[in-house]
Amino acid sequence: MKRTPLYAAHMKLGGKLIEFGGWEMPVQYTSITDEHLAVRKAAGFFDISHMGEVLVSGPAAQAFLNRTLTNDLARLAPGQGQYTLMCNERGGVIDDLYAYRLADQEFLLIINASRIEVDVGWLEGQSATFNRRSEVKLENASDATGAVAIQGPRVAEFINECFPEASTGGTNVAHAGDLKKNQVASFRWGDSTIWVSRTGYTGEDGFEVVAPAQTIQAIWNQVLTVGKPHGLKPAGLGARDTLRTEVCYPLYGHELDENTTPMEAGLGFFVALDKGEFIGRSVLAEQKAKGTNRKLVAFKMTDRSAPPRPGYAVWSTGPAPAKIGAVVSGTQSPTLGVGIGMGYVPPECAKANTPLGIEIRGKRAPAVVVPKPFYRKAD
């Protein structure tokens, strides 16, 4: 198993380690519920160094990526980022990712840990057949790069103390805290350059930091020290998963895979059908026009029951109940105190208030389709 540059820090903090996507990562330090609530009420600190980083640069970088990804990179000024997807010809999702325009001809892709090899192979394969291939440079910086996420309503109180200088690239700001949602900027850290963005995977305000692997330990220590008086707690992958589930963010391998399209997953907003040709476009355009055979829904348990889990069968209700789909994510919501989940069902069962049965150990427990997300932060 791979270890991040923060492995020793996790051990020192008493992190409980598990395998995730080939990496040995902390699932929790004290308790998933405590860490989850710290992020909702104050601040949480995550090691996300397992995630992959790919740099794409050159005069044809935008043209190449716009052919390979679903969202429209032409909408990004330098210093801005967007959520996007990489699809195969069938519209199936190879990965979901964040793409940042660092400079006019330079892009940073943040990809899922479990998909680094597949993604890099796909990008290399696509660039080999791209007519302007000599004008695009791909660099897999995953091994040389670490990353952390600082998330929660109180993070804005102390982010400037963590990174006090003005930006050196990307969005021009006097302090990191001046970044707006989805903006990214570079800052000096000793002799190195690090990137800070106002993004996250928790549904709270927050920042993500991408930096050379050898700087991550010092950044971790600095943020932990500065954030502690503001309620900052280290948080593991367990809380990361419950937090993203409450806001219905997809997790690759659960909501998304190579046989699932962004339209089925309810991610049509991130598919720019109007930007010209891109891989998967014809299938996705047809699905947009005609609809899909299944849809991702959010549901919550209505009675006191065990929490739903990935793989559990989803049933219709009524006089002739039938198995109509499967749960892809499910947990006990620490914020709401009920079982919540997401699953794929036929479109006629996807409307809010549709009753469902979730098969838990041979018995069907009542649930109901609810609008996404389960949780929305107060503005």
Partner 1 sequence: MANVPLDLKYAKSHEWVRVNGDVATIGITDHAQHELTDVVFVELPEVGRKIKAGDACAVVESVKTASDIYSPVSGEITEVNQAVVDDPALANSEPYEDGWFYRIKLSNPAELDALLGPEQYKVQISGA
Residues in touch with partner 1 (CB under 8 A): 27-28, 31-33, 36, 238, 241-242, 305-307, 309, 331-332, 334, 361
Choice between 31 and 317, CB closer to partner 1: 31
How near is the Cβ of 153 to partner 1 at its closest, in Å?
A: 21
Instruction: Compute the least distance from the CB of residue 300 to partner 1, in Å.
Output: 14
Nearest residue (CB) to partner 1, 273 versus 306: 306
Using the minimum distance from each CB to partner 1, give the nearer residue, 63 or 237: 237
At residue 122, the 3 state secondary structure works out as helix
Q: Give dist(CA 227, CA 222) in Å, integer.
A: 8
Residue whose pair of structure tokens reads 């995550």 in the numeric block? 46
Asked if 87 and 65 touch (Cβ cutoff 8 Å), the reply is no
46's tokens: 């995550």
Helix (H) or strand (E) holding 27, with range, is strand 23-28
Amino acid sitting at position 310: P
C-beta of 185 vs 342, nearer to partner 1: 342
Please check whether residue 73 is in contact with residue 82, taking contact to mean a CB–CB distance below 8 angstroms: yes
Residue closer to partner 1, measured from CB, 12 or 361:
361
Of the candidates 185, 140, 136, 137, the one whose C-alpha atom is nearest the C-alpha of residue 159 is: 185
Alpha helices in the chain (DSSP H): 7-12, 32-41, 61-68, 116-128, 155-162, 213-227, 237-246, 281-290
Q: How far is the CB of 364 from partner 1 (least distance, A)?
A: 15
Residue 72 has φ and ψ, to the nearest 5°, of: -100, 105
Nearest-approach distance from CB 334 to partner 1, in angstroms: 7
Least distance to partner 1 from the beta carbon of 218, Å? 30
Amino acid symbol at 277: E
Is the Cβ of residue 19 or residue 143 nearer to partner 1 in the bound state?
A: 19
Closest approach, Cβ 238 to partner 1, in A, equals: 5
